Chain A
Amino acid sequence: MRVTNSMFASGALKNLNKNSSEMLKLQEQISSGKKISRPSDSPMIANESEILRSDVERLAHYAKNIDIAQNMAADAETALMDINRSIQNVKELILQASNGTQSLQEREDIITEIEQNKEQIISLLNTASSDKYIFGGYNTKVPPVESDTGTIMYNGTELSSIDDVTADAYKNELVSIRISKGTELNVSMTVLDIVGYGDGNLFQTIDEITGKMSTDTFDPADIETEMGTLENHFNNVLNKCSEMGGKEKRLDMVEDQINETIFGSENLLSEVEDVNIEEAIINYELAKQAYNATLAVSAQNIKMTLLDYLG
C-alpha cells in the first residue's frame, strides 16, 4: 500500500485519541471507584446494581418498620406486666377481705383500694406508643377503654354487652407491619384479648366480687366461682405477656436476618459495580505504556522526510 505523509499524521492522531480515551475511562473508574459512570456503559451491570440497590433500600425500610414494632411490643409487654401485677394486687386484696375477721368498714376500705387498681388497669389498657393507642385495634386515636360512671366502655361499646360476633370483628382489627416482601407480622393485641368481654370480663368479675364484699352477710364461699374466673384472667394476662415476649424475640430475629441480608446485598452490590482498584491500576499502567509508545513512534514517523537527505 502506498503511504502518504498525512496518513502518518492522521493515523498518529487516531491512535493517540484511542489510547487517551482508554486512559480517561480508567481514570474515571479509579477516581469514582465505580465500573460504570452511565447505564449504557454496561446495561447488564447497571440493571443488576439497580436491582440490588433497590433491594437494600427496601430492606432498610423494613428495618425501620421493625424498630417501630419493637418499640410497640416493648411498650405492650411492660403494660401487660403491670396489668398482671395489678390483678395480683386485686387478688391479694380480696384474700385479705375474705379473712373472716374483717369488718364491713375494713372491707369498704379494701374495695376502694381494689377500685384504684381497676383504674390503674384501665389506664394501662390505654397505653400509647408514639401517640398511638396500642390495645384499641383500629382505634388508635382515642383511649379505647373509658369508664362511664362505672360502666366500662370499649371503643364506645359497653364491654359486658359485647357478644362473640362483635368481639371477633374487633379482634380481627390487627395492626401489623411489613417485615419483608408480602410478609406481615402482627404485633398488636386488643383489650378484648387481655381482659375478655361480655359476661365474665375482668372488670365485671371484679365488680361482682366487690359487690358481694360490700354486703353485711359476706361469706368468702359466695365468691368462689368469681375467684376462679379472676384466676383465669390472671393466667390469661400472664400468657399474653409471654406471647408478646415471643413476638419481641421474633422481631429481634427478623431484624438480625434483615441486617445480614442488607450486608450481603451490599457486598454483592459492591462486587457488581465497584472497580477492582488493583486491576484498574495495572490496566492504567498498560494503557499509559501504550500511549507513551504511540507518542514516541508517532513523533519519529511524522518528522521523517526525504528532504533531510537531499542536498
Chain B
Amino acid sequence: MSNFYGLEIARKSLFASQRAIELTGHNIANANTEGYTRQRVDFKAAAPGNGSSIDNFSGNRTGGGVEIEGIVQIRNEYYDTLYREEDAYLSELNAKSESLRYIEDIFSESTESGIGSGIENLFSSMEQLFSDAGNSLLRSQLQQDAISLTNTMQLTAGRLNEYVDRQNSQVETIVSEINSIARQISSLNKTIFSYELNGEPANDLRDQRNLLIDELNSYIAVNVNEKETGELRVSVGGIALVDHMQINNMVLKEEPSPALDGKSVLNPQWEKSGNDVTLTGGELKGLLDIRDSDDEKNPGIPYFMKKLDTLAASMVEEFNEINSGGYTMPYGTTDSRTGVNFFDPTKTTAATISLSDELLEDASNIAASSGPVADYSNWGNNENLELFLELRDVDSIAYGDETIGNYEDYTREIMTEIAISTSYNANRAENQQVMVDYVDNQKKSVSEVSIDEEMTNLIRYQHSYAAAAKLMSAIDEMIGTLINSIGAAGR
C-alpha cells in the first residue's frame, strides 16, 4: 500500500485548497457586511503516517501532507475593548451636546424675544415713564412689557419642563432597547456555547454577538468577560446584565427629582435587586446627566432652571419691595395707595411668575410716586420710579447665597454659560469622534476584508489546487508505469 501514500498527500492538498477557496469566497461575499471579521484557514503540516512509506525503516520519513487545523477569525480583542470604551464616551458626549444645543435654542437670545431683551424693554419703558410719570400711555406700555417678560419666562421654564418629559420618554425607549439587546445576546450565548461544545468556533455568530454588544455599548457602557469555558458575561457598573444565558432586566422607577423641584423623572434600576444602575458612559448617561445635573462644572437642565428661578424670585422680591414702598395713581374709584405689589408675591418661580392682580387690572398701580397722588400733587412724581432705575445698573443684587449683580448681566451670564457648555461639549464630541475613528480604523485594519488580498489568496490557492492535481496525475502515471512495465519485463 505504501505507493499510494503520495496519492493521499495529493488528496489532502486538493481538499485543503478547496476549503481555502471556499473561505475566500465567504470573505469576499461579506466584504461589506457590518461587523464581519475576516477568517483564515490555518494549515498544518501533517505528521508522517505509521509504516506508510518504504523509507520507514531507514528513518527518513516524509511528512503526511497538509492538514486543516481550523478556521480562525483575525481580530484583536484589545481594539474591541478600546473601541467600546471610546465609543461609549462619544455617545455620551453626543447626547449631551445635542441636549445642550436644544437648551440653547430654548433660551435663544437671537430671536429678539428672549428673557434678556424682555428685561431690557421693561427697564427702557421705565426710563421713558421717568420723564412723564403720569402718562397713562407710557404706563400701559410698561405694563405690557412686564406681561410679555413674565410670559417669556413662563414659556422658557415650560419648554425646559417639556424637554425633561421628552428626555424621560427617551430614557424609556433606550432602557427597553437595552433589555431587548440583552435578550438577544443571551440567546446567542446559548447558541454559540452549544455550537462550540464540539470544539469548532462559531465565527459568524460571534460577529453577530459583537455587533450587538457594540450597539448596546453605545447606549450604556458595558464590560465584557468571556470565561475559558466560553461563557460570556456582559456587565454594567459591576452588575451582570447578561450572565451567560441569564438576563438581569433593567426597569424604570418613577421618582421625584430633588434637583427639579420634585418633578417626577424616570430612573433605571435593576429589576432583581431594586438598586440604581451605575452608569459609566453611553447615551443614557449623557441624557441623565443633562436631565439631572445642577452642578456648575457640568451644568444640566436643573442648573439652568435654578438660575431662572433665582432670577424670577429675586425680581419678585426687589420689584415688590420698591413698588409697595411708593404710591400708585388714582383710577376709577380707587385712590392713590401704597403697599401694592408689582408681581404676585406667591408665585416665585420662572414657571409661575406673573404680575400682581392689581397691576394686571390697571397700569395706574405702578407706584412711580413717592407721595400720594391727587389732582394738584405728584402726577409727575417719579422719585419711586428712580429706585427701579437704580436697580437696573447696580451690581449688588443678591438672592439667598446667589450673587445676581443686576438682572441684565445675570441673564446674559446664563446665556453665555449655556453657550460655553454647548460649545465645550460639541468640541469634545468632535475630538472624541476623531479618537473613535482612529480606533475604528485600527480595528478595521486588522479585521476587515480586503478584496485585493482575497484575490491574491484566491490565485494562490488556485495554483496550489492545480499543483496538487498535477501531483495526483504524476503519481497515477508512476503507479501505471510500475504495474505495466514490471509485467512486460518478465515475459
Contacts and interface: CB of A to CB of B under 8 A. Distances in A.
B131 A40 contact: no
A140 B136 CA distance: 12
A277 interface: no
Given A39-B419, A69-B131, A132-B132, A156 B444 contact: no
Q: How large is the interface on A (under 10, 10 to 19, 20 to 34, 35 or more residues)?
A: 35 or more
Contact of A40 (B381, B419, B452): B419
Contacts of B442: 1
Contacts of A307: 451, 455
A229 interface: no
Given A57-B124, A58-B124, A64-B128, A3 B450 contact: yes
Contacts of B109: 39, 46, 50
B207 interface: no
Nearest to B371: A138
B375 interface: yes
B456 interface: yes
B408 interface: yes
Contact of B449 (A4, A46, A47, A54): A4
Contact of A68 (B131, B415, B456): B131
A73 B393 CA distance: 27
A129 B415 CA distance: 42
Nearest to B34: A6
Interface in B397-456: 408, 412, 415-416, 418-420, 422-423, 426, 437, 441-442, 444-446, 448-453, 455-456
A14 B124 contact: no
B120 interface: yes
A306 B437 contact: no
B423 A4 contact: no
B416 A140 contact: no
A286 interface: no
Given A68-B132, A138-B381, A306-B456, A39 B376 contact: no
B32 interface: yes
Contact of A2 (B131, B445, B456, B459): B445
A141 B444 contact: no
Contact of A39 (B124, B389, B393, B416): B416
A260 interface: no
Contacts of A50: 109, 116, 412, 415
A13 B423 CA distance: 25
B423 A41 contact: yes
Interface residues of B, number: 58
Nearest to A181: B393
Interface string B96-117: 0000110011001110000011
Contacts of B441: 7, 11
Nearest to B38: A4
B465 interface: no
B375 A142 contact: yes
A119 B377 CA distance: 23
B446 A2 contact: yes
A130 B132 CA distance: 10
Nearest to A11: B441
Interface string A139-158: 11110100000000001100
B135 interface: yes
A294 B108 CA distance: 36
A178 interface: yes
Interface string B71-96: 00000000000000000000000000
A141 B133 CA distance: 11
A99 B117 CA distance: 70
Interface in B374-405: 375-382, 389-390, 393
B130 A173 contact: no
A1 B445 contact: yes
Contacts of A310: 455, 459
Given A139-B379, A177-B130, A47 B412 contact: yes
Contacts of A46: 109, 415-416, 419
B277 interface: no
Interface string A17-41: 0000000000000000000001111
A305 interface: yes
A177 B386 CA distance: 10
B444 A4 contact: yes
Contacts of B317: none
Nearest to B448: A4
Nearest to A61: B124
Q: Which of B132, B408, B446 has the most CB of A within 10 A?
A: B132
Nearest to B382: A175
B130 A43 contact: no
Interface in A54-85: 54, 57-58, 61-62, 64-65, 68-69
A138 B379 contact: yes
Contact of B131 (A38, A42, A65, A181): A65
A51 interface: yes
A147 to B, nearest CB: 15
B448 to A, nearest CB: 4
A127 B293 CA distance: 62
7 contacts: A4-B448, A40-B423, A50-B415, A57-B124, A58-B124, A140-B379, A140-B380
Interface of A: 1-7, 11, 14, 38-43, 46-47, 50-51, 54, 57-58, 61-62, 64-65, 68-69, 130-132, 136-142, 144, 155-156, 173, 175-178, 181-182, 305-307, 310
Given A50-B412, A181-B393, 15 more contacts: A4-B450, A5-B450, A6-B448, A6-B449, A7-B444, A39-B419, A58-B120, A65-B128, A65-B130, A69-B131, A137-B380, A138-B381, A141-B375, A173-B380, A176-B382
Interface of B: 31-32, 100-101, 104-105, 108-110, 116-117, 120, 124, 127-128, 130-135, 369, 375-382, 389-390, 393, 408, 412, 415-416, 418-420, 422-423, 426, 437, 441-442, 444-446, 448-453, 455-456, 459
